[in-house]
Amino acid sequence: MKIIVCKDAAEVAARAAEIMQAVVCEKSDAVLGLATGSTPLGLYHNLIDAHNREGIDYSHVTTVNLDEYAGLPADNDQSYAYFMRHNLFDGLGIAPTQTHIENGMATDPAAECARYDALLEALPRDIQLLGIGSNGHIAFNEPGTSFDTTTHVVDLKESTIRDNARFFASMEEVPRQAFTMGMKQIMDAKQILILATGEAKADAVYGMVEGEVTTALPASILQTHPACTLICDEAAARRLTNV
């Protein structure tokens, strides 16, 4: 794993934008695997800014997202579909038909997972962007998830529900289940870019980089990916001994 430690979150966002833009500049019809959450917001802001200033063209890219809450329609402002449209796709001028995310309202979850598996198979990702949960989850693959998983529905752990409650009016409103891309599919991306900022991620980052590869800390599998880059700030890197 290549590790880049930056001074702060703004520098993480700037370095991450350079990497994402390089992928798109090299291949205008790149397939981008994308994430939601607070960590990538600075990166997304920078991509939109550079698109507006320098005209970097995203009209031919295709995107696939990691995950979506079960039970939230795409027009709910807490859904990940809504998040992506408002924080990235509209700003980059990416047509909705070129963006993909699980359907949180699917009435047949197994069929929805099979649909997304087929989609991921048909759209090999040039890069997969990830954040990391404070418990080491990637996408919604919580501790204990097998490394062989494909798209599936998960019961969110109490710690994840608590972490995500800040986006909702109350804890009770946080969905208890989500659709998520599986571990195997994350690892299938040609390149992985994982971002981590803030003190609250320091233990997870340490486990991911210097701990054993174990399903108890899902992100630790990234040690075995041939082209994975971690960009983190000094607070998240605090426990690393080897950088």
Q: Where along the sequence are the contacts to ligand F6R (CB under 6 A)?
A: 35-39, 66-67, 131-133, 137-139
Verify whether residue 54 is a known catalytic residue. Answer: no
Which CB atom, from 37 or from 207, has the smaller least distance to ligand F6R? Answer: 37
Verify whether residue 46 is a known catalytic residue. Answer: no
> Residue with CB nearest ligand F6R?
131
Write phi, then psi, for 75 (nearest 5 degrees).
-90, 0
Closest separation in Å from C-beta 204 to ligand F6R: 9
Residue 102 near residue 112, CB atoms below 8 Å: yes
Which CB atom, from 27 or from 45, has the smaller least distance to ligand F6R? Answer: 45
Separation of alpha carbons 113 and 241, rounded Å: 40
Paired with 232 in beta bridges are 5, 196
Burial of 122 (C-beta count, 10 Å sphere; 0-12/13-18/19+) = exposed
Closest separation in Å from C-beta 66 to ligand F6R: 4
Which CB atom, from 61 or from 132, has the smaller least distance to ligand F6R? Answer: 132
Verify whether residue 225 is a known catalytic residue. Answer: no
Could you tell me where the DSSP H helices lie in the chain?
A: 9-26, 41-54, 80-84, 90-92, 109-122, 158-164, 183-187, 202-210
Closest separation in Å from C-beta 46 to ligand F6R: 16
Verify whether residue 172 is a known catalytic residue. Answer: no
Residues serving a catalytic function are: 67, 135, 137, 142
